[in-house]
Amino acid sequence: MTQTHRRLAVMGTLLFLFTASPVCAWHIDGHVFCDQNGNQMIDAGDTPLNSVGILITSLTFPPGTTFPATTNSAGFFFVALPDHDDDYRVELTGTGLPGGASTIVPSSGAYGVAPVAAIHLQASAFAATADFLVNGCVATPSPSSTPTPSPSSTPTPSATETPVPTDTPVSTATPTPTPTSTSTPTSTPTRTSTPTPGTPTSSPTPASALLDFQCYEVDRSDAHPITGVNVVDRFGSGMIDLDSRKPVKRLCNPATVNSASPDVPTLPDHLLGYAITRRTPHFNTIFNQTVVNQFGTVVIRIVRPVLLLVPSAKSLVAPPAPLADPAIDHFQCYRVRGGRTSSSGVHIVDQFGAFTYKLLRVSYLCTAVDKNGEGILDPQANLLCYNLRPAGDPISRGLSGPAFTANQFGAATLIRVQRARELCVPSSVSP
């Protein structure tokens, strides 16, 4: 073999390693919402639609191949696709929709139907989001309002004359559920009501409920600075300000480590990390904190708070609606010292792909935090974050395009999402 042939062979091998990704990494996901408030925009006032049929059709390779799916109770769907470049049409089949319902987002009724472009997957962007908004479906929540009047009709028989007026309230009862459903996504007190029963007191629950997260560096975003956020966690209380120049520093995807939970990457709950620039009062270093998780035990000292992680929705196609009812807490992340470790061959899969890393030293300890008096779902929830070094091909290089996010602080476009920086895993902390 000549030197030229050797070079070509090496270049071909490198090209294959760079572009190859496992089948599970190539996918299209999204949500289907009912336009509950009638404003023809996907926002917090909309409700997810369950059991709606989705059909994804290949347009190029080979054309006509279909991939069906159905939304879950959160209105979410996820379809794994072949690992090669292709264009896809994504549409609703009509299954699970009430009669007379129609799609208003996207405007043409489907992705891949003019004037809305098809969704293109390629090696540098092998994941995409396709969200739908449907009108003519407001009738769906009304059955839930029927039980409400029926209890109110039970007390009414005590006065025989009043049943006639009571019929009038039956119609007024209908609006009552409507605001409650619209407020549910945005109002964080709903989250406070979840922990009240006291379930979080048992420590096994947090270990099983909390997810692993892979966090990517965010270099540029259009997020706005935020000041005067009150926080209370296991280490004390204070008021923090978030960076005025580069507020968002991390995008954390739900991930599965070493194939432990294959379905986790499809979950909608993400975390957006905002940089903390100031805390009042000053935080004093805490020494000799023991942290235990799946990778072993470390003893660390906690230096200062550096990040606030906020539950967020994420899309790679268009601005998403905020999470209707986040299943995870806010977290305050502290810079730590000590805790050097080394764990090789850690295989991580998230919505951006499948990669193998070596875990290096511990970078952050993140504890569940009560933000602005909204409460904590799980007081025992903690994440220990490890720095990552690539340990094989392919190498995560971040996104080629923007990511769109939405949370309690508003919508943000992450203009440059770079490589994975940390793996954050559920951990227990003592004392």
Evaluate if pTM is beyond 0.85: no
**Residues facing 88 on adjacent strands:** 58, 119
Q: Which has the higher per-residue pLDDT, 382 or 5?
A: 382
Average pLDDT estimate for 213-232: 94
Interior angle at CA 423, CA 259 and CA 387, nearest 5: 135
What mean pLDDT is predicted for residues 348-377? 95
Q: Rounded CA gap, 125 and 122, in Å?
A: 5
**DSSP letter (8 states) at residue 170:** H
Please name every residue paired with 312 in a beta bridge, in sequence order, or none if there are none: 270
Q: Per-residue confidence at 80, pLDDT binned at 50, 70, 90?
A: confident
Rounded to an integer, the average pLDDT of 387-412 is: 90
Q: How far is CA 130 from CA 24, 68, 303, 407, in A?
A: 18, 14, 42, 19
DSSP-derived secondary structure letter, 351: T
pLDDT category at 407 given cuts 50, 70, 90 is: very high
Residue labelled with tokens 């994941």: 127
Q: How confident is the model at residue 205 (pLDDT cuts 50, 70, 90)?
A: very low
pLDDT over 70, % of the chain = 78
| Average of per-residue pLDDT across 48-63 | 90
Mean pLDDT score, 57-82: 88
CA 348 to chain centre: 17
Sequence-distant (6+) residues with CB within 8 A of 217 are 249, 250, 398, 417, 418, 419, 421
Tokens 């000041």 sit on residue: 227
Helix H segments across 104-162?
Answer: 142-145, 149-153
Alpha-carbon gap, residue 48 to 325, rounded angstroms: 11
How much is the pLDDT for 188?
A: 38
The mean pLDDT of 1-10, rounded to a whole number, is: 48
pLDDT at position 50 is 92
**High-pLDDT (> 90) share of the chain, %:** 51
Cβ(266)–Cβ(69) below 8 Å = no
CA distances from 430 to 162, 299, 300, 333, 364 (A): 62, 10, 11, 16, 16
Q: Which amino acid is at 185?
A: P
For 174-204, how does the pLDDT look when each residue is reduced to its tens digit (9 = 90+)? 343 433 333 333 333 344 433 333 333 333 3
Q: Model confidence over 301-311: pLDDT tens digits?
A: 999 999 999 99
Evaluate whether 397 touches 420 at the Cβ level (below 8 Å): no
User: What's the CA gap between 222 and 42, in Å, rounded?
Assistant: 20
Q: Which residues pair with 237 in a beta bridge?
A: 232
Q: What is the pLDDT of residues 252-303, one digit of tens each?
A: 999 999 988 888 999 999 999 999 998 999 999 999 999 999 999 999 999 9
25/23 Cα distance (integer angstroms): 5
pLDDT tens for each residue of 86-99:
999 999 998 999 88
Residues 304-360 pLDDT 10s: 999 999 999 999 999 999 998 999 999 999 999 998 877 888 999 999 999 999 999
Region 34-40 average pLDDT: 88
Locate 413 and state its tokens: 């476009």
Confidence of residue 83 (pLDDT cuts 50, 70, 90): confident
- How many alpha carbons fall within 13 Å on the CB side of residue 343? 21
Q: Using alpha carbons only, give the angle 78, 79, 84 rounded to the nearest 5 degrees.
A: 135
**Res 430: pLDDT:** 87
* pLDDT reported for residue 329: 97
Q: What CA–CA distance (Å, rounded) separates 268 from 254?
A: 8
Which of 22-31, 125-134, 302-311 is predicted with the least confidence, judged by mean pLDDT? 22-31
Say which range, 55-69, 113-127, 211-225, 325-339, has the weakest mean pLDDT.
113-127
Q: So what's the pLDDT on residue 159? A: 39
